[in-house]
Amino acid sequence: MICLMRRLALFLALICGPALAQPQPRITLDITLPPPPAHQLSGFGPPGRLAVGSDGTFHVAMSSFQPSPDGILPARSARIELLAYTRDGAQKFRTMLPVQAGIGPSGFNASSLGVAALPSGEAAVFLSSSNELMGLPQRERSVTSFYRVGATGKVLRAAPVPPATPNAGAAAYYQTKFYLATADNGLLVGGGFGPNPFNWWIGRFDADGRRTWQVGLGPGYPEDVYGLAQRPDGSISAVVQEIQAAFGLSQWYVVRLAADGTPLGRAPFGTLGTSFSLLPGYWLSAISLYETAGSPELVRLDESGKMLGRVPWSYGQTYSMIADGDDVAAIVCDTTSGSPCYVVRAGVDGRVKWRTPPLNANDIVRTPDGQIAALVWSDDGLTARLVRYADP
């Protein structure tokens, strides 16, 4: 009998070992984010974005629309709202932004939507719409706006954002994904601009939405910004990919900028990546399955492009990765085709510290007290939740 129990214990240890190596986190906050009455969350472009302030206040920018009766004509109405919640989950405000872009069958055709929590307690929202699917006149195809919202939910500023180049075609628009608050309550934005292919582009806006500088519009066909971060001294580091127009060759660079946008240097590197995060002393790149003939990896790079090390990574696709102290948190999937996907907290050695059950998420942030919050969507994309995770 004792021998049988020992064998059973060994068997359980073998089958439970992988699960124990990836425990589930504790859920410390779970808030339903309902759309307005008669509206549903928009399925075109980013349905929502998340930011957290220094006091733990969450800001959620959400896009929704009221469908037309036939689902083909423009929607009856469309909204982009900013919701704010305290760290304990109490709603502070829910404000509709005065968006002037045209409305299509699925609401605003938002190509880019981002939010940042400013040091003042206010929030900044960046919105770019590409209205090419609407059949509107050329001059109306792109609308980009900056919004500043006060700590009580009042819209303090709504300013148009001019094109990145004076001679931009009517179909050109911003395709951005990084939105970082600066110490003086400005907004740093990174991504692309153009009709497709996009030039990589980084711009900085002051508190009134005026663009104070921009970089990145080169003569070739640059591809995108894959990483953007600020240091404590205000300087900026970015990871960009460029494609040389003459040869169609792709090259990756670490680009360094002063706080005023002055170029400080750029260094090429040879590895790839779908997500990059700046940690103390180096960039960390997550290489997904479709980028390598081998297995997924985490690769460390210094700002001169030198590879510092690489370790195996458990997931076929990494959609988003953020710094988590000396570690990282990420939205990952087992395969490059998606589901099942998870939010994970992991070390730079590739070891996963915890993993959520399967979910759909598009944005994660690290809270001031070291937890990880995520926007989590239902399978049909019609409902969303704000969920905060802590270590087991």
Q: Is residue 239 part of a domain?
A: yes
Q: Cα(137)–Cα(291) distance, rounded to whole angstroms?
A: 39
Q: Is residue 7 part of a domain?
A: no
Average pLDDT on 145-169 reads: 93
Average pLDDT on 341-355 reads: 97
Residue with tokens 């050695």, as numbered in its chain: 349
Q: Is residue 10 part of a domain?
A: no
Q: Cα(375)–Cα(51) distance, rounded to whole angstroms?
A: 10
Lowest mean pLDDT among 168-177, 210-219, 264-273: 168-177
Q: Which phi and psi (to 5°) does residue 71 adopt?
A: 75, 5
Inter-residue contact 148 to 122 (CB < 8 Å): yes
Average pLDDT on 64-78 reads: 88
119 sits in the region (left: phi over 0; alpha: psi -120 to 50; else beta) called alpha
Of the candidates 333, 300, 335, the one whose C-alpha atom is nearest the C-alpha of residue 319 is 333
Pick from 215, 246, 269: which residue ends a domain? Answer: 269
pLDDT at residue 277 is higher than 80? yes
Containing structural domain, residue 298: 278-358
Q: Is residue 58 part of a domain?
A: yes
- Whether 194 and 304 share a structural domain: no
- Whether 247 and 287 share a structural domain: no
Q: Is residue 169 part of a domain?
A: yes
- Whether 256 and 194 share a structural domain: yes
- List C-alpha distances in Å: 195 to 106, 131, 163, 352, 360: 21, 12, 11, 39, 29
Q: Is residue 391 part of a domain?
A: no
Burial 52-76 (b: 16+ CB within 10 A, else e): bbeebbbbbbbbbbbbeeeeeeebe
- Whether 205 and 259 share a structural domain: yes
- Whether 108 and 185 share a structural domain: yes
Percent of residues, the chain, with pLDDT higher than 70: 88
Average pLDDT on 323-342 reads: 92
Q: What is the pLDDT of residue 21?
A: 54
What is the pTM assigned to this prediction? 0.90
Summarize pLDDT for 15-46 with one digit per residue, the tens: 333 334 579 999 999 999 989 999 998 866 66
Pairing of strands 26-32, 384-390: antiparallel
Q: Cα(361)–Cα(343) distance, rounded to whole angstroms?
A: 8
Q: Is residue 66 part of a domain?
A: yes
Q: What is the pLDDT of residue 17?
A: 37
pLDDT at residue 341 is higher than 60? yes
pLDDT class for 127, splitting at 50, 70, 90?
A: very high
Q: What is the pLDDT of residue 339?
A: 83
Average pLDDT on 145-172 reads: 91
Q: Is residue 244 part of a domain?
A: yes
Inter-residue contact 238 to 215 (CB < 8 Å): no
- List C-alpha distances in Å: 269 to 235, 266, 282, 313, 359: 21, 10, 13, 20, 34
How many folded domains does the chain comprise? 2
Length, in residues, of the chain = 392
Give me the CATH number covering residue 340: 2.40.10
The one-letter code for the residue type at 173 is: Y
89 sits in the region (left: phi over 0; alpha: psi -120 to 50; else beta) called left
